[in-house]
Structure 1
Amino acid sequence: MSDETHKTGDWTEADLDLVVGDYFVMLAKQLAGQEVKAAGHQRALRFVTGRPGGAIEFRQRNISAALSLIGVPILKDFAPRWKLHDQLIDAVDRQLSARPTLIAAAMRPPVLFTAREPLHLVEGPPPAFEPEQLQPSPRAEQLIAKFDPAGRDHANGLLAEAGRAAVLAFEQRRLREHGRPDLADQVRPARPPVDLAGHDILSFKPTGEERLIVVKTTTGGVGTPMALTDAEDALWTTRPDVFRLYRLYDLGRELRFYKLRPPQAAPPVEAEAV
C-alpha cells in the first residue's frame, strides 16, 4: 500500500480494473434511478489503489470517453476526457463484458415504458467531435466493433419508435408555432411503399417544401456512433435538397437532438428556413 501511495507512473491492470469496476457500480445505480455518492466511492478508491483523487478522476473521465464511443450512458459527474490508452480500453472491455445486464439496462430506460406522451426534445447544434472520436485508435475500433452501438440501437424497436414519435410531435409543434397548422396536420410517418424509401417522417418547411426526416435514436451520448441503412444512404445522396437527419441522444435523461443535412443541400449564403 505504501509503495502505491506515492506511485505516479503507469497504472497497473489491477488498479484500472478497480476504478473501472467501481465506475460501473455507480453507473448501475444511476441507471436504476438511485442516488450516487461519488465522493464516498472516491475515498474508497484512494485507499485501495493508493492513487490521489485527481489521478482517479482522470481515469474516470477516460472511462466516460470510452463509453461514449460504444453508446453506453456515462456518469453525469465525469465529462469525457480523451487521449485514451489501450490499457484503459482493455479494462473497460473486461469489466463491461463481465456485466451484460448493464448494457441491457442502459438500452431500456424506464421512460420507454412509463411515458404516456411523446418524449420532449431539446435541440442543440451539431457537436464538435474530438479527433479520437472521428479517428479512433485501432484498439478503440475493436471495442466499437465488439459492442456495435449503431447495430444495438437499430435493433431496439422500442427505442426507435420512441424517437420517431418524439420527432413527429416536435415537427407538428414547430410548424404550428410558425403559423402553419395546415402543414402540421400533414406531418406523418413514412408509408412504404407509397413514399420514397429511406426516411421515417414526412414533414415540411414553413414555406411548404417537403422534408424527409431520418431519425436515429440512442440512449448513449452525443458522440455515440450511428450508421445509415442502404436506403437512407441512397436518399442522402439522391435527394440532398429534402433529406434531413435528426440525431436523438441521451434518451433516459434529457433527450436532446441535432440536425444534419447533406453538404450539397447547404445554401451558399443564408441558412435554411427553420
Structure 2
Amino acid sequence: MADGERNEDWTAKELDLIVADYFAMLNAEIRRASYDKTQHRKALMGQIDRSNGSIEFKHHNISAVLQLLDLPWINGYKPRAHFQKSIVDAVERYILKHPAAQRPEALAQVFSERPHLFVEPPPQLEPKKDHPEFVQRLVRKFNPADRDFLNRQLGYNGEEMVFKFEQQRLKQMDRSDLARKVRWISQEDGDGAGYDILSFDQKGSERFLEVKTTVGSQTAPFYLTRNELSFSKERPREFRICRLYDFSKIPKMFELAPPLDEFVHLEPLSFEASFK
C-alpha cells in the first residue's frame, strides 16, 4: 500500500526493517519482557523516513499476515487486511531467514504455575474464505496444520497439560480415586489407540481425549488421522478432541464432540495407493 504522506510504495529494505522490528517486539511479548511500542516506532522513523501513523498501519498489516499463518501477533496491533503482496513477501523472507519464528512457544518462559484451563465453547463453523493466490501460496508454504503436527515437543507439552488438568479436575470433584486412574495413553502405550488421554467423568464413565495443540488461534486448522476419526465414530459418547490454542501466550481450551463434521470442515488430504 502506498504511503499516504510520501505517496511512494514501501521498498523491500523498508519492509524488511519493519518486519524485523515487529518480530523483535513480538518475541519480547512472548517472553513476557517489557518493551515500548512508541520507542520502537521512533527508532524506525529514523531509519526509514516514514511517519508514525504509516509505521503503525504497517504493523497492523503484519499482524494480519501472521493471523493468516495462525501465528501469534502483537497485542494492540489488531490485524488489518487489504494489504499488498509486498508485505506478504517481507514476512516470508523473515520466516525463511528465521525458522524459529514458527515456534514461538520455545520463547515462552516455563509456566511458573500451571495455567488454569476451563472448557470453553467451540468456535462456530463458518464458510471457507477465498484469499488471493499470493496469500494462499504463503499459507501452503508455512502450513499451520503441518507446523503444529510436526512439532513433537508442542504436542507433548499440550498432552501433558491436559493430562494434569484432568487429574486436577477429578480431584476438585472429590474423585481422587479416579484421578489416580487417568492414563497418558500415547506415552504409556504409544500412538495408535486413536486418542491420547484416558480420563473419566464424575460418575466414572470413560473419557477418551485426543489432544490437538497449536500456537495459533481458536480456529487454527489441525490434522485428524483416519484412526482418530474412525475411533470418534466408534465411541462418540466418550470421545472428545481437546483443542489447546494460543499455547505460546496464555493457553486456552475447548472440546469437540462427535459428530466432528458439525464443528469442522473435514477434507481428505492423501490416498493410500495399493496393488491388491
Give the TM-score taking structure 1 as reference length: 0.76
Alignment partner, residue 108 of structure 1: 106
Cα distance, 1:205–1:86 mapped onto 2, change above 3 Å: farther
Q: Pairwise CA RMSD of aligned residues?
A: 3.5
Distance 1:118 1:215 in 2: 17
Alignment partner, residue 180 of structure 1: 175
Alignment partner, residue 239 of structure 2: 243
Alignment partner, residue 261 of structure 1: 257
Alignment partner, residue 271 of structure 1: none
Alignment partner, residue 121 of structure 1: 117
Cα distance, 1:261–1:80 mapped onto 2, change above 3 Å: farther
Distance 1:265 1:97 in 2: 35
Alignment partner, residue 196 of structure 2: 200
Cα distance, 1:24–1:118 mapped onto 2, change above 3 Å: closer
Q: Secondary structure at the match of 2:207?
A: strand
Q: Secondary structure at the match of 1:87?
A: helix
Cα distance, 1:107–1:14 mapped onto 2, change above 3 Å: same
Alignment partner, residue 184 of structure 2: 189
Cα distance, 1:201–1:33 mapped onto 2, change above 3 Å: same
Alignment partner, residue 159 of structure 2: 164
Distance 2:8 2:204 in 1: 62
Aligned partner of 2:146 among 151, 155, 170: 151
Distance 1:65 1:242 in 2: 38
| TM-superposed deviation, 1:200 | 0.5
Deviates more, 1:181-190 or 1:161-170: 181-190
Distance 2:30 2:11 in 1: 29
Structure 1: which amino acid aligns with 2:28? K
Number of residue-to-residue matches in the alignment: 260
Cα distance, 1:69–1:207 mapped onto 2, change above 3 Å: farther
* Structure 2 residue 38 is matched with structure 1 residue 39: yes
Distance 1:37 1:8 in 2: 28
Alignment partner, residue 269 of structure 1: none
| TM-superposed deviation, 1:242 | 2.2
Deviations 1:94-118 (A, max 9, x none): 22222224335x242354xx45875
Cα distance, 1:137–1:124 mapped onto 2, change above 3 Å: farther
Cα distance, 1:59–1:258 mapped onto 2, change above 3 Å: farther
Mapping of residues 4-23 of structure 1, within 5 Å: 6-7=5-6, 11=10, 13-23=12-22
Distance 1:57 1:128 in 2: 31
Cα distance, 1:56–1:258 mapped onto 2, change above 3 Å: farther
**Structure 2 spans left out of the alignment, 5+ residues:** 263-276
Deviates more, 1:158-167 or 1:38-47: 38-47
| TM-superposed deviation, 1:202 | 1.2
Cα distance, 1:139–1:240 mapped onto 2, change above 3 Å: farther
Deviates more, 1:39-48 or 1:115-124: 115-124
Distance 1:98 1:215 in 2: 31
Contact 1:123 1:258 (8 Å CA) reproduced: yes
Distance 2:50 2:228 in 1: 49
Distance 1:82 1:94 in 2: 19
Distance 1:45 1:124 in 2: 40
Alignment partner, residue 224 of structure 2: 228
| TM-superposed deviation, 1:129 | 7.9
Distance 2:112 2:42 in 1: 41
Deviates more, 1:238-247 or 1:188-197: 188-197
Identity across aligned pairs (percent)? 37
Structure 2: which amino acid aligns with 1:34? A
| TM-superposed deviation, 1:217 | 1.4
